[in-house]
Each structure stands twice: as C-alpha cells, then as structure tokens.
Structure 1
Amino acid sequence: MASVVGKWKIENSDNFEEYMKAIGISDEKRATAHKFLSTGSNMTQEFSSDGDNWTMTTNTAAGERAFPFTLGKEMDSMTLDGRAIKVIFTVDGDSLVEKQKGDGFECTHVRKGDGNTLTMTLTGGGQTCIRSFSKV
C-alpha cells in the first residue's frame, strides 16, 4: 500500500456536485464542501501507516482533521458534513478502500496511487466522482 502513503493535493474533481447530492448532502453543506474540498481549494490529504494502523490527515482552509484507523476494523465516525457513520478501511490489491454507511446512504471511496498521482473514485447513490491529487 505504499502507493497511497504520502501527502496529496487536490487537482481535479469530476462529478463532485452530483455525487454529493446522491449521498444526501444538503445544499448548504454542498456549498461549503465546494469551498473547502474542491479543485482550487488547496485541500490536502496525507496518509501514513505502521502496519495495519494508519492515519489520514485532511487539511483545508477550515482546519486539519486527523483520522487514525486500523485496517479491517469498523469504527464510528462523522462525515465532513457532520453525519454519523460507520467506516471501515481495507486494502484491495494496490488500493485503499474506505466504505461508509450512514442513515440512508452507503458509499465507497477507492484510492490508488501511481507515482506522483493519486486517484480517488467515490461511488454512492448511483453516482461516481473521480478526484485526482498530485504528490506534494
């Protein structure tokens, strides 16, 4: 899983608005998400690992959020828009897979690094969003 480890800056996000609508994010929260999480926002995500124990740190203009997790262990968490979820991370080949389940929605985020590029594929509610990051 070394392909995901490192610090990544958002470069592009395709179909983000439709994806957020599909998983039930409110109009107000979608506007905030675009401001802090979309292309041009300077958002970064950093992944570090020590065996099965990982940390995902997200930095936005609104602040930093570190999320420690253990591969294969379901945990209680919150989405960035404040909804309670169950989340589990696993590895599938060379991809880090995050599955979220909340009240009325389920989604999957698959991250795969390739050199200086990280591709994140978000699926949920019948929509797919592709987000591209560059290595910092």
Structure 2
Amino acid sequence: MSAAANAIVGKWKLESNENTPAFMVAMGMNEEMMTMLKDTKMEYEYSVNGDEITHVVQLDVGGGRTITHTFKIGEEFSEQAVGSFVTKVKYSEEGGKLIRTAVSDKASCRVTIEVKDGKLVETGVCDSSPPVTSVRTFVKA
C-alpha cells in the first residue's frame, strides 16, 4: 500500500473542528443532521489490508454510532453517513497525501488527508457558491 495510506493507519481522536457545520450544509446535509453532529466527539480508525483501506468512524451521538467504509484507491463507491445522506466517493493520492473526492446532490468537495506534525489533518473544500473550507485536526488516540 502507498505511503499516504500507511501514514494514516491507527486510531485518531478529534482535536479541533474549524467551519465544519458550514461545510456540511454546503454539501447538502440538513439542519437536523448538522446540529446533531456539530458538537459530536469523533474518533477515526484507519487500517490497511492489501490494497483495501478501512475507515471506521466512531461518533458519540445517540448513544454511540459506528460508520465503517472499506475502499480501494481509485474506485468509486457510495458512502452513507448519518441518516440518509449519501455521497459518491473516490480516493486518490497526490504528493504523498490521500485525497477524498465526494459528490452529493448539492455539491462536490475535495478533502486532503495528511499527517502533519504527528496530527491527522483533513482540509476540505466544497465547490458550493460561495466555496466553503473546513479543517479537522485529529491526534493519536
């Protein structure tokens, strides 16, 4: 597997969340989902098995919720988040970083996932009008 995928392997706990509610609205999540997720504690776990990457998201909302996606770089798949919100997602690599491209009925976004200074950083840009950017930072759990 690639260096970008191997760099993110492990458990990560959300440390900071900048402009994520606006990003979620721009992608088409409804107000109820946005409100529910706004202050949610979140943990990620990434693992690699051959050419497959598994991303497990643990949310503390509603007594706890786990969302798991297994994917291969370069292959599109449907991703269901909270509720009925579904996007078409494809991962790629650029310059040693993992890139997640997601398309919803309302917009598309590009999220750059990388490890900087020992932290997992997700920088998302949504092509809505006006464009919306968010940054989520995770520390090793």
| TM-score bin, normalised by smaller chain | 0.7 to 0.9
Residue 133 of structure 1 corresponds to 138
Q: Is the 8 A contact 1:48 1:55 kept in 2?
A: yes
Q: State the Cα distance separating 1:34 from its structure 2 match.
A: 1.2
TM-score (norm 1): 0.87
Residue 18 of structure 2 corresponds to 14
1:89 aligns with 2:91: yes
Q: State the Cα distance separating 1:82 from its structure 2 match.
A: 2.2
Q: Aligned equivalents of 1:16 and 1:81: distance in 2? A: 17
Structure 1 unaligned residues grouped into runs of 5+ = none
Residue 46 of structure 1 corresponds to 45
Q: State the Cα distance separating 1:115 from its structure 2 match.
A: 4.8
Q: State the Cα distance separating 1:22 from its structure 2 match.
A: 1.8
Q: State the Cα distance separating 1:80 from its structure 2 match.
A: 2.9
1:5 aligns with 2:9: yes
Deviations 1:49-95 (A, max 9, x none): 13421100001112212110011011122233422221111121221
Q: 1:107 aligns with which of 91, 106, 109?
A: 109
Q: What is the DSSP-based 3-state SS (H/G/I as helix, E as strand, rest coil) of the residue aligned with 2:25?
A: helix
After superposing on structure 2, the runs of 4+ consecutive aligned residues of structure 1 that deviate more than 3 Å are none
Aligned residues: 131
